[in-house]
Amino acid sequence: MKSCIVIGLGRFGSEVARRLYGYGCEVLAMDTCSENVQQIADSVTHAVVGNAQDKDVLRSLSVQDFECAIVAIGGSLGDSVLATMNLKELGVPRVICKAHDETHRQVLLKLGADQVVIPEQENAARLAKSLSSRNVLDYIELSEEYGIIEVPAPTAWLNKSLKELGVRAKLGVNILAVRREGKINVSPAAEFTVAAGDIIVVLGDTAALDAVQKL
């Protein structure tokens, strides 16, 4: 079971905490606002009132024993910066932070954050990608070079097995899953035959994903 501490229980932090708990993770949720803590108490493993800017508070919670910390503080840059510094100094293996903009992101990365997300920016990019491509149902950007798309099964793939298609060798992509009639087949076998109506989840670099969209 993965253990995580989520600091900052605004809309973003609360949603992350609830989803992690729903996926079976041990989740400690923390906020300076007692009302926010009370609202999420029944949806996580533990919920506490505390200030992540106080290193002694974090030390008392044994934050170094958690596999991951998510800093989702919605206040000033200084608040998230100090919380991030404290978590890294106390030895939390992985610290993921929410940033408001690119400047905020760069500051947090320089301070040692392992990953920084800008939710509004990433959601906007995801929406724009799906809207700008006629057959892309969803898009997740993994990096500047790689992403995951969800597309209706291309006509050229219908009634052929994954082994016959050889998409990894021919296109440089990996099929992660196939959704058919509401059911998801994760890592389908080579003998799996693509049918009309299937939704294919594909991983690859930008050029390879563009090639899939043109099929």
Tens of pLDDT, residue by residue over 146-155, are 788 889 999 9
DSSP class of residue 28? E
Ranges of beta strands (E only) in the chain are 3-7, 26-31, 46-49, 68-71, 95-98, 115-117, 138-141, 146-152, 174-180, 183-186, 199-205
Of the candidates 161, 141, 136, 140, which has an alpha carbon nearest to the alpha carbon of residue 151? 136
Residue 83 has pLDDT above 80, yes or no: yes
Residue with tokens 């299937």: 198
CATH class of the structural domain 3-117: alpha beta
Which residues sit opposite 114 in a β-bridge?
A: none
CB 175 within 8 A of CB 189: no
Residue with tokens 């799906």: 130
Q: What's at 117, amino acid-wise?
A: V
Question: 92 φ, ψ to 5°?
Answer: -65, 125
Q: What is the pLDDT of residue 136?
A: 67
If one counts every other C-beta atom within 10 angstroms of the C-beta of residue 35, the result is 9
pLDDT per position as a tens digit, 27-41: 999 999 999 999 999
- What confidence category does residue 132 fall into, taking pLDDT thresholds of 50, 70 and 90? low
Span 80-92, average pLDDT: 94
Residue 102 has pLDDT above 90, yes or no: no
Span 13-29, average pLDDT: 91
Question: 141 φ, ψ to 5°?
Answer: -85, 120
Global model pTM greater than 0.95: no
Residue with tokens 């009634």: 159
For the chain, the structural domain boundaries read 3-117, 124-213
Residue with tokens 């024993």: 65
Task: Please tell me the distance from the alpha carbon of residue 96 to that of residue 115, in angstroms, as a whole number.
Answer: 5
Q: What is the CATH number of domain 124-213?
A: 3.30.70.1450
| Distance from chain centroid for Cα 161 | 31
Q: What is the pLDDT of residue 67?
A: 93
**Could you tell me the sign of the dihedral formed by the alpha carbons of 86, 88, 90, 93, in that order?**
positive
Of the candidates 175, 164, 215, which has an alpha carbon nearest to the alpha carbon of residue 199? 175
